[in-house]
């Protein structure tokens, strides 16, 4: 096996797309990061993004991407050996990694290999589940309607995105709604019941789908059905626009959100881990 580095996200995507598309739902985050790097929405530091493939005689075995200062993100892998090989190779080349984000099997294999070489301790920061929706099931009716956010909504959206980042422990991600608003492959929506009461967005396109995210309802307005209505309506709009399916990440520590999403048609695909390396 060998590790191949790339520096042009468009060329890299063209090289790895067919491999990633074999398991499009599981690899939706890698697809989304590549799209974000290409259009400038995934630049969070002055350090160059990292694009890596592990390849053997039978083709690509594993893909990894990183946008500093965040974790290394792994695709699904053909073999566990490809994952541990990448960990050994990156450590030998003195890469500094804060952690790894991946499906559970790939994440655990990489973390064990990295920890064994570096002596770092591994801390599980989040356990996640990837869901896929092919057809939205309308939830119970609630008052209100969907509203596509635009410039006049920037202030409210910024406040809610900041609160959302705090809720999910992603304090490094800028609370910038312009990552969604006014873009051709992303959007942000409010559910309006006299005033904004819930928020949902989509971004991170894949060949046939897109990722739903930024789901937030203020605490005092929760358990009224607003989030279900907003997510279902946004998901259906994505399908109506021609996407075959959409994806969604949940925190397994939040059983309420996992139940809500399944009620509107989201089906579990696989579990994932966000793992941190600590000296």
pLDDT digits (tens, 9 = 90+) for 18-41: 999 999 999 999 999 999 898 766
Lowest mean pLDDT among 8-12, 172-176, 220-224, 229-233: 172-176
Identify the structural domains of the chain with CATH numbers, from first to last.
2-119 (3.40.630), 132-269 (3.40.630.30)
- Which DSSP category does 132 fall into? E
Digit-coded pLDDT (tens) for 96-134: 999 999 999 999 999 999 999 999 999 999 999 999 999
pLDDT digits (tens, 9 = 90+) for 213-229: 999 999 999 999 999 99
Q: How far apart are CA 121 and CA 239, in angstroms?
A: 42
Strands of the sheet containing 145-148, edge to edge, are 2-6, 50-56, 59-66, 72-74, 99-103, 267-278, 121-133, 245-251, 209-216, 196-203, 187-192, 145-148
Do 144 and 226 form a contact (C-beta atoms < 8 A)?
yes
Instruction: Please name the residue that has the structure tokens 């974790």.
Output: 71
8 Å CB contact between 127 and 107 = no
Sequence-distant (≥ 6) Cβ neighbours of residue 83 within 8 angstroms: 62, 74, 77, 106, 109, 110, 113
3-state DSSP call for residue 33? Answer: helix
Per-residue pLDDT at 47 exceeds 90: no
Q: How far is CA 19 from CA 130, 169, 239, in A?
A: 19, 31, 24
CB-count exposure of residue 251 (10 Å: 0-12, 13-18, 19+): middle
**DSSP H/E element including 199:** strand 196-203
Interstrand relation of 267-278 and 245-251 (parallel, antiparallel or unpaired): unpaired
């Amino acid at each position: 096996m060998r590790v191949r580095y790339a520096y042009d996200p468009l060329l890299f995507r063209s090289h790895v797309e067919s491999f990633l598309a074999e398991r499009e739902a599981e690899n939706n985050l890698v697809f989304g990061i590549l799209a974000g790097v290409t259009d400038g929405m995934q630049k969070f530091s002055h350090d160059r993004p990292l694009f890596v493939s592990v390849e053997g005689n039978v083709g690509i075995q594993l893909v990894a991407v990183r946008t500093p200062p965040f974790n290394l993100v792994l695709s699904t892998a053909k073999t566990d050996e490809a994952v541990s090989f990448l960990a050994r190779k990156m450590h030998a080349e003195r890469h500094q990694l804060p952690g790894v984000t991946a499906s559970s099997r790939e994440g655990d294999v990489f973390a064990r290999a990295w920890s064994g070489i570096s002596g770092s301790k591994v801390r599980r920061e989040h356990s996640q589940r990837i869901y896929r929706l092919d057809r939205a099931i309308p939830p119970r009716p609630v008052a209100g309607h969907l509203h596509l956010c635009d410039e006049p909504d920037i202030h409210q959206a910024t406040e809610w995105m900041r609160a959302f980042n705090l809720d999910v422990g992603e304090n490094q991600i800028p609370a910038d709604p312009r990552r969604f608003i006014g873009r051709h492959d992303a959007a942000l929506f409010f559910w309006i019941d006299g005033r904004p009461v819930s928020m949902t967005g989509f971004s991170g396109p894949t060949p046939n789908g897109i990722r739903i995210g930024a789901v937030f309802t203020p605490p005092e307005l929760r358990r009224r059905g607003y989030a279900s209505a907003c997510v279902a309506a946004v998901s259906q709009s994505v399908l109506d626009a021609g996407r075959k399916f959409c994806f969604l990440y949940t925190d397994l520590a939040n059983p309420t959100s996992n139940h809500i999403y399944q009620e509107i048609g989201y089906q579990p695909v696989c579990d994932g881990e966000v793992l941190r390396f600590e000296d």
